[in-house]
């Protein structure tokens, strides 16, 4: 691992204001090269005090705390109102989760998935923390976004199981309904499902699938999927988890190919496409695009700030899923 790679784009650095970052990447993420990516609190501070004081309006998913941040001059500071960034330090239980999510999101961008500005910032103790710019706010107003639990009319429950109800087929049909039959939006959903399959994200649940209203005059018809978020290889931490967070097809059904092979392959995504009105040629093109980007995705892992141990696990998981996707039924 080369420590002189940018903590945002992972490319080599020559001369810059901050030795760990390209000037252009700092400007893209924060709007100015004067903003410091070095935070004035450490992980212990965050876990014991800062998150508790400033996360009143932010959700805590499982054990990972998310902290709302805003710019105060040239500094990033915690806030419980008007936050424009989300900070996610690595939980003690899941080593290198920040580096994992950072690399995963960059791989999604390579594959053509809309991705917000993001990167790794440095805590006071030198530990890296993942940060992403919020896409549900702009300079003038809040951008209307709704996740699938809202669009499917599900009520929150104490155990969080509501996030895992329904199937990806039902999600696709809900996208069609709420976008007035926008096939491009469904294609984007299938693209993201293939991506999460490849990176071994077993927690691609209903709250991680959202639609965005870009043109208020079209309400209540949504225009597109939101930019990508919450993507990482979860199999590193849960080796025995199921492939998907939701049932793949409605009614907990499976293709005959899945029954024969015992694993998901290209045919399963083709079948999902058919059920959502997307022809085989279009879904095949999505799959072929991922296969064409395989080496670039692997290159991100090799450049990432994950340790060799974690990166090797990720590489093995990714390679296994690519092999499954290349099976032609």
What residue spans define the domains of the chain? 23-133, 144-325
- The pLDDT confidence band at residue 329, using thresholds 50, 70 and 90, is low
3-state helix, strand, coil in the chain (%, to 5): 40, 15, 45
- Chosen CATH of 144-325 out of 1.20.58.760, 1.10.1070.20, 3.30.2000.10, 3.10.105.10: 1.10.1070.20
Return the DSSP state at 112.
T
User: Cis link prior to 235 (omega < 30° from 0)?
Assistant: no
Pick from 288, 243, 245: which is nearest to 266 by CA?
288
Hey, how many other C-beta atoms are within 10 angstroms of the C-beta on 312? 12
- The pLDDT confidence band at residue 58, using thresholds 50, 70 and 90, is very low
Contacting residues for 272 by C-beta, under 8 A, at least 6 apart? 168, 169, 172, 190, 193, 248, 249, 283
Max CA-CA distance within the chain?
60
Segment 202-231, tens digit of pLDDT: 999 999 999 999 877 666 789 999 999 999
Phi, psi of 82 (to 5 degrees): 55, 35
Element containing residue 312 per DSSP (H, E): helix 308-325
By residue count, the chain amounts to 329
Contacting residues for 178 by C-beta, under 8 A, at least 6 apart? 151, 211, 220, 221, 222
Place of tokens 């901050």: 18
* 2 against 258, higher pLDDT: 258
pLDDT at 53: 63
**Range 302-312 average pLDDT:** 98
pLDDT at 29: 98
- The pLDDT confidence band at residue 46, using thresholds 50, 70 and 90, is confident
Q: How many CA atoms lie within 13 A of 271 on its CB side?
A: 17
Hey, how many other C-beta atoms are within 10 angstroms of the C-beta on 197? 22
Segment 313-324, tens digit of pLDDT: 999 999 999 999
Segment 122-149, tens digit of pLDDT: 999 999 999 999 999 876 678 899 999 9
Task: Give the Cα separation of 185 and 190 in Å (integer).
Answer: 9
* 227 against 61, higher pLDDT: 227
């Amino acid at each position: 691992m080369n420590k002189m790679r940018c903590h945002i784009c992972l490319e080599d650095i020559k001369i810059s204001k901050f030795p760990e970052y390209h000037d252009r990447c700092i400007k893209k993420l924060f709007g100015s090269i004067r903003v410091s990516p070095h935070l004035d609190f450490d992980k212990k501070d965050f876990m014991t005090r800062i998150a508790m004081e400033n996360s009143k309006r932010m959700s805590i998913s499982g054990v990972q705390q998310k902290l709302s941040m805003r710019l105060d001059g040239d500094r990033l500071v915690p806030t419980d109102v008007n936050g424009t960034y989300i900070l996610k330090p690595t939980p003690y239980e899941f080593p290198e989760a920040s580096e994992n999510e950072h690399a995963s999101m960059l791989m999604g961008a390579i594959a053509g998935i809309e991705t917000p500005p993001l990167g790794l910032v440095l805590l006071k103790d030198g530990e890296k923390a993942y940060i992403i710019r919020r896409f549900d706010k702009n300079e003038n107003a809040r951008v209307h976004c709704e996740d699938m639990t809202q669009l499917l009319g599900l009520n929150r429950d104490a155990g969080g199981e509501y996030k895992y109800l329904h199937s990806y087929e039902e999600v696709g049909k809900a996208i069609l309904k709420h976008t007035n039959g926008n096939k491009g939006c469904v294609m984007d959903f299938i693209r993201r499902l293939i991506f999460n399959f490849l990176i071994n994200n077993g927690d691609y649940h209903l709250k991680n699938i959202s639609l965005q209203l870009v043109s208020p005059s079209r309400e209540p018809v949504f225009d597109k999927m939101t930019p990508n978020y919450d993507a990482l290889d979860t199999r590193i931490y849960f080796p025995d988890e199921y492939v998907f967070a939701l049932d793949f097809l409605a009614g907990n059904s499976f293709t005959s190919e899945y029954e024969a092979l015992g694993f998901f392959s290209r045919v399963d995504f083709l079948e999902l496409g058919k059920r959502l009105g997307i022809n085989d040629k279009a879904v095949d093109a999505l799959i072929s695009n991922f296969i064409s980007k395989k080496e670039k995705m692997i290159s991100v892992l090799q450049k990432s700030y994950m340790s060799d141990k974690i990166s090797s696990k990720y590489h093995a998981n990714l390679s296994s899923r690519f092999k499954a996707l290349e099976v032609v039924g």
